[in-house]
Structure 1
Amino acid sequence: MSIRHALVGLSGLALALIPLSGSIAHEIVGNRFFPATLSIDDPGVNDELSLPTVDSFKTGDVPPIRQRDISGEFSKRITEDFAVSFGTTYAFLGPIDPTAPGANGFQNLETTFKYRVFKNPEHEFVMSVGVSVEWGGTGADSVGADPFNTYTPTIYFGKGLGDLPDTLSWLRPVAITGQIGYAIPARSSTTTFAIDSDTGELTADTEFHPKVLNWGGTIQYSMPYLKSSVMDLGLPDFINHLIPLVEANMQTPVANTLTSVRVTTGTINPGVIWVDNKFQLGVEALIPINRQSGTNVGVIAQLHLYLDDIDPRGIGKPIFGGAVQPASPFAGR
C-alpha cells in the first residue's frame, strides 16, 4: 500500500486523543465488520499482521515479464485512532530473454501513518486519513526500486448498507470501501549522462517522474453479517465465514507526464475472504484492465492475523490506551 506529509499534524492530533478506556478490536462499526482487503487498504485502524501476501502476474512490459512477489505488513496502533504500519515486498522478476537470468530483490520499504477521523455506528460509516512514505534507496535497483522518496496522502472510507429498510434486507450485508491518494515523488526528474559509442559525444537523457492518482474500491457481501444481523439461513458453517468481494485498484498519472503515457492502469480483482475470530485468509484473481496493466490473469493470496484479538493485553494493545475488548465478526450487536 502507500505513504505521505501531514505527518506532524496527524501524530500531534492523535497523541492528544489518547483514549481513557479500552478499545475495540478490528474495524467494527455498529454491526459491520470491515475485513482487511488484499489490494487496497481497509478504512480501519488496527493492530494487524499480513504475512505472507503472495502474488503472481505478467507485467505490461513489451515483452511481458513474469513477476512474483512475497510481502508483509505490520500495523501498530499508537492510540485507539492512530496507527503506524511498515511494509516491504521481495520481488522475483523473470527474464525478458529466456537465455538470460532474471532479477530479484526488495522493493522500497514503505511506512503509513493513518488516523481515523470519523465513525458512525448507526450508519456503519467510517473514514480515515493517512500519509504513506516510500523510502527511496531502501530497495534494489535491479527490480525497479526508486532512489528517491514518494509521499502519498490518502483518504479511506467504508460504508455498510445495514441501514437499508426491511424491504431491502437482502442488501444489508453489502458494504463498500474505497481509497484515493495522490503520489508525489520527491524528485521531479532524473537525468542520466552517457558517452555515445559512435561519436564520443556526451549525451543526456531526462526522465520525468509523474504524480499519480492512486484510487480504488471494493464491494463485498458479508455472510457473517447475513447470519448475525439479517437472517440465519441455516447454511454450512464454512459458508457463514465467507465474504465474497470484488476489488478495483487503479493508478492514473495526472501531472509531470512529459516522458510517460497518461494512461490509467490497474486490475479488477474478484475473490473471497474467509474470516475467523483471530485471522483471515483471502484469495483473488488479478484481471488487468488494459494491455499496459498486464497480459494475463494473475492471482494474489494473503494470510492476515488480528493481533488485537490474538494478544489483546500485549502486542494487540494500543501503546497509549487500555487493553482491547475482543470483538467477533459473527456477533450481532
Structure 2
Amino acid sequence: MKQNRWCASALAMIAVVSPVLVLPAFAHGFAGQRFFPATILTDDPFVADEMSLPTVTGNPPAADGSRETDLGFDLSKRITPDLGMTIGEQWERVLPEGGAVAKGWGALQTGVQYQFFVDEPRESIALVGLNATWANTGRVQALGAPDFTTLSPVFDFGKGFGDLPDSVWYLRPFAVTGNLGFSFPTRAESAGMPNPDSVNYGFALEYSLPYLECCVRDVGLHRPFSQIIPLVEVAYTAPINHVPSSQAIGTIQPGIIWSGQTFQVGMEAVVPATRTTGHGLGWVAQLHFYLDDLFPGGIGRPISEWWQQ
C-alpha cells in the first residue's frame, strides 16, 4: 500500500541520519547565537516545546467568492532532545457567496520530527519529519475536510548569515528558513474527484533586530523595537499528477514577529500568489508560547527527562 511504502521511506530516512550527530538540547530555535522564531506559514526547522494559541486567520476571498475565517491551535513537544511530535487543529467558519454559513472543525494534523543537524558556528539547523492529515476528523461535507488520510514526508532547514564578514555587517542579521515536502493521499479519489499527490515548498526570509543589537552592533534600538523580526513568508502547494499544474495554491505573507522571553506575537498580511488561491488580501495573527521557558523544570523539558532529577 502507498501509506505503508511512504511510512517506511520516512523511517528509513530518519534511520540514515540518526547516527550522524548526537545533539545537545537546544531551546526553541537556537543555532549558536542565532534565534529562529516560530513562523506562522512555513514549518519551523527545529524540535521544540511550544504552543500556538490561538492562530486567527482571515483568509482572502476564495476563487468562488466564499470567505473563510480560521481559529487554530498547535502544540509541539519534544520526546527526547532531538525527537519531537506535533499536533494541530483548527475551527473553521466558511461563508459561501450567497449561501449559508458553515462552521466546524477541520482535519486533525499530527507529525513526528527528528533534529539531525545543528551547526552553531554557521548558524545552521535542519530536521526531517513525517506529517499526517487524518481522514474523517473534520466536517467532510460542510467544510470539505478530507475523507482520506494524507502522509507528508518533509525536510526543513534554517541558515543565519551571522558568519558573513564585518564589511557587510548590515547583512548579518538576515536568516532564511525553508521547507520541502511531498503529500501522498491514501485514496486516489473521493466522490469521483481525484486526490493528487503534491509537492509543498516554501521559505521565510527574516531580518532579526534582536540579533543586530546583541551580536552585530548596537544601533540604539530599545524595547519593544529591539525585539522585532520583520519577515516575509512564501509557500506553495502544487499537484504533480491527476490534475493540471495550474491548480497550484500559494501565498506571500509579509509581516513582523515580536519575541519576548516566554512568548511571541506575530502578524502577517496574506497575499494570494495564484488565481486558484483567491483574490484580494487576508490577514493572520498568532500568539505563541515557549513552554520550555514557561515551565523549565516541568513540562517544558523533553518527556525523556521528566523523571530525571
* TM score, norm. by length of structure 1: 0.85
Q: Tell me the C-alpha RMSD between the 2 structures.
A: 2.4
Q: Any idea what SS the aligned residue of 2:59 has?
A: strand
Deviations 1:77-124 (A, max 9, x none): 000011001100111001321xx4210111110001111111100100
Task: Give 1:151's aligned residue.
Answer: 151
After superposition, residues 200-279 of structure 1 pair within 5 angstroms as: 206-257=192-243, 262-279=246-263
Residues 224-277 of structure 1: CA deviation (Å, up to 9, x unaligned): 0000000111112111000000000111111122xx554332111000000001
Question: What are structure 1's unaligned runs of at least 5 residues?
Answer: 193-205, 325-333
Aligned length: 301
Percent identity of equivalent pairs:
38
Letter of the aligned partner of 1:292 in structure 2? T
**Would the aligned equivalents of 1:241 and 1:275 in 2 still touch at CA under 8 Å?**
yes
Pick closer, same or farther for the CA change 1:140–1:309 going to 2, 3 Å: same
Partner of 2:289: 305
Using CA pairs below 8 Å that are at least 6 residues apart, which structure has the higher relative contact order?
A: 1
Q: Match of 1:78, SS?
A: strand
Alignment of 1:1-333 (within 5 A): 5-6=7-8, 8=11, 23-62=25-64, 64-97=65-98, 100-141=99-140, 142-190=142-190, 192=191, 206-257=192-243, 262-321=246-305
Gaps of 5+ in 2: 1-5
The alpha-carbon deviation at position 27 of structure 1 amounts to 1.4
Distance 1:303-1:290 versus aligned 2 partners, 3 A rule: same
- Mapped to 2, the partners of 1:15 and 1:221 lie a distance apart of 32
Residues 285 and 297, structure 1, Cα contact 8 Å, conserved in 2: yes
Q: Are the equivalent residues in 1 in contact too, given 2:298–2:306 (CA < 8 A)?
A: no
Q: Radius of gyration: which is bigger? A: 1
Q: 1:313 to 1:9 in 2, by over 3 A?
A: farther
Q: Is the helix fraction higher in 1 or 2?
A: 2
Q: Secondary structure at the match of 2:257?
A: strand
Aligned partners of 2:127, 2:79: CA distance in 1, in Å?
15
Query: 2: distance between equivalents of 1:16 and 1:172?
Result: 32
Q: 1:15, 1:79 within 8 Å by CA — same for their partners in 2?
A: no
Deviations 1:130-169 (A, max 9, x none): 1100011010011110111000000000000000011111
Residue 269 of structure 1: SS of its match in structure 2?
strand
TM-score (norm 2): 0.91
- Give the secondary structure class of the aligned counterpart of 1:320: helix
Return the letter of the residue paired with 2:247: V
